[in-house]
Chain A
Amino acid sequence: MRERFLSGYNDFVLPFMIGMVFILSYCLVGMIRIILQLPKDDRKKFFLSLVTPSIILKNIKDIFLDCLIHVKLWKRNKLLGYMHSSIAFGWFMLIVIGHIEVFLYTPNRAKLFYYPIFFRYFVAETEHTMKGAFFFFLMDFFLLVVLSGIVLAMIKRLRSRFFGMRRTTNPSFLDLVGLYSLWAIFPLRLLAEGFTADISGGSFLTKSLNWVFHSFLGDHVNMLPTWWAYSCALGVFFIVLPFTRYMHIPTEILLIPLRNVGLTIRNARKGFAKAQVYSCPNCGLCIDACPMGVLKANIRDTTVYLNRQIRRNNEARIEEISDKCLLCGKCSVVCQVGIHGDQLRIAQRSIRKYNISPDYSNIDEKVLLNGCNKFVKQPNSNVLLSDSEKVMYFAGCMTALTPSIRKSLLSLLDKAGVDYEMMDRDGGLCCGRPMWMAGRFDQARQMVEKNSAIIRDSGANVLLLSCPICYKIFKERYHLEGIEVIHHTEYLERLVRQGRLDVMKSGTSFVYHDPCELGRGCGVYEQPRSVISGLGKLVEARSSGPESICCGGSLGSLTLGFDKRKMMTENALENLTAENPDVIVTACPLCLNTFDRYADRPVKDIAEVLDNQTTKK
């Protein structure tokens, strides 16, 4: 290859250079700000991770697979996966190969920033292009890949149903500017390289285009305007990028290392939360996932719109969106980037100001303990009788309102001969999870401490829970060393597996509803299914497991009233009864209560159905 211009410069590179310098400095400042906003210990962990080989490898692998190839999206939706990876990976390869060309053919220009981007304008093809043919082919091939992605993107904007998406996000004005400039970049590049192909050389795409042009536009004067247009499209895209959804491209590269350190949201708007908000690509997968979406008015309260409002600092809307959410966590499961919509909302709730702060210091845990310390040799001493299994059953507030669960579970424990005691037979404290979900962490922590003291002093070594809401906070926030925290689905599965319960199989068909806090919250999916398949025929709901639909009764939502929840419950019921099961089985007192109100068939807790089909050993 030979250079066409001694200076190696033309004015048309300016729009690109201005955009590039702007976006690079913006990203650099943004990155430094986010890292400085992290709490001190988190920041230290983050810096340490950057020099730990195993995490470095994981970071590189995740960035490559998530940002460029979009593996998660491929697994979910092949067409969407192809669309995103063709644009991202194709563009990445164009940049990489462009740099390789410069290093090979004009190494003296390698320090020029714009040279790899506009390489074809500045060089002329000479005889020995054997290697050039190889790279030119690759360049054209990847340009074709990107263009195919752009065509799909245009179809998606017109008809999202074609991609299996019922609804997609409404782009803001600047999003549209970014979108159109992004769409323009690659066709313009094709045009520009097509005009230049007879001088600089090209391959199947650009060369053939050049022949077409020459038949009616046989003039090199057309060359420069297309290069100008290409550069301008790049420049506009880079300049609007920080204010559009495309900011997710650079931010995700920061989010992945932060996530791999295992950080959690500690500040509602700064640091890790900010990285999550800016990483949202506005793909809109969370819109179809959201159980509130059955009411059309709620579409604008999904996580993608929360992220947008946080970026705009629209406090009124942030409050509305974060208070309405059921916190079922489904948007976090479907999110390709790993944005935790539920945690983000709880963080927003935690910065509310209240004039009245509940305080539980007047509650004497000793009194509560006296009712349930049968495992302790002498009252209030920590000497255990023996090291056999001693189960403390904490029913929780919600189970207190569904006494059938409590009764069945106690009957099962009797049948299996378990040594147990009830912690809140005559009422006890709340576990703290509802308060935590309302964002009032200090109050929740007080409850956690009180309950922990009771459990530790009771002498039990297993804490049995029948409510997934309690289970989640007991697993996450309680520090009960030496005490096994277990949900009744897991415990019943263990009893059946160990042969401590005699189960009779019947011909009834059951469908199992995964409660949000048990499934997505704690990852318990298999044990309840294994218990139910021993009782009768187990059928699956249309969407189940991590993608099960919230019953609509969740305590997570602060503002949704009964009337608004009804449609969500009916939608969830319709999903559950797709295979027409005889009985709906769930493992959460709140789901049971909610479904029972509108279901056309019996709704039972797993303990109830098991108790009905179990005899005393």
Chain B
Amino acid sequence: MMDFGFRISPSSAVNMDDVDFELFERLCEIEPDARKCMACGSCSATCPASAFSGMSLRKVLHCLQRGKEKEAVRMLRNCMLCGKCTMVCPRGINTRHLILSICKIYKED
């Protein structure tokens, strides 16, 4: 990355070589659907928890794929498991079970 010696905003670049994907691989083993997401954002648009914590399943998956687990967990902490995302998902992903599996595999810190 280009280094000018100063920055306007903190960098959001992720070095994928440094990310440990072990947990994500484990998630994909239980939930093959995690790779099915095409990031359309239907889940985020309907989510009642997004108003309170910015919860968005699309972003959660996005973060997990890039090793930004902390951010994903912060969003997940307001999920109410209401199931609206399951109903609108055009890919037919069982989002509720996906969320529960994330809650099992990843850790809060």
Residue numbers of A with Cβ under 8 A of B are 323, 352-360, 362-363, 397-398, 400-401, 427-430, 432, 434-435, 438, 440, 443, 447, 555, 558-563, 590, 593
Contacts and interface: CB of A to CB of B under 8 A. Distances in A.
A322 to B, nearest CB: 13
A356 B102 contact: yes
A331 to B, nearest CB: 22
A555 B53 contact: no
Contacts, number: 96
A555 B81 CA distance: 9
A478 to B, nearest CB: 16
Contact of B80 (A356, A435, A593): A435
A362 B51 CA distance: 11
A355 B107 CA distance: 5
Given A430-B81, A438-B100, A447-B80, A356 B73 contact: yes
B59 interface: no
A427 B97 contact: no
Contacts of A560: 94
B39 interface: no
Residue of B76, B100, B102 most packed against chain A (CB within 10 A): B100
Q: How large is the interface on B (under 10, 10 to 19, 20 to 34, 35 or more residues)?
A: 20 to 34
- The secondary structure that dominates the A interface is loop
B28 interface: no
Interface in B59-99: 73, 76-84, 87-88, 92, 94, 96-97
Contact of A356 (B46, B48, B51, B76): B76
B101 to A, nearest CB: 10
Given A354-B103, A355-B104, A435-B81, A427 B51 contact: yes
A398 B103 contact: no
B107 A356 contact: yes
A561 B48 CA distance: 22
B96 A558 contact: yes
Given A354-B100, A358-B78, A397-B48, 18 more contacts: A353-B104, A354-B104, A356-B73, A356-B102, A358-B81, A362-B53, A363-B52, A398-B84, A427-B51, A429-B48, A434-B80, A434-B82, A434-B96, A438-B96, A443-B80, A555-B96, A562-B92, A593-B87
Contacts of A354: 100, 103-104
Given A438-B100, A558-B100, A358 B84 contact: no
Contacts of B48: 397, 400, 427-430
Contacts of B108: 355-357
A363 B94 contact: no
B92 A561 contact: yes
Given A357-B108, A401-B46, A429-B48, A363 B88 contact: no
Nearest to B76: A356
A362 B53 CA distance: 9
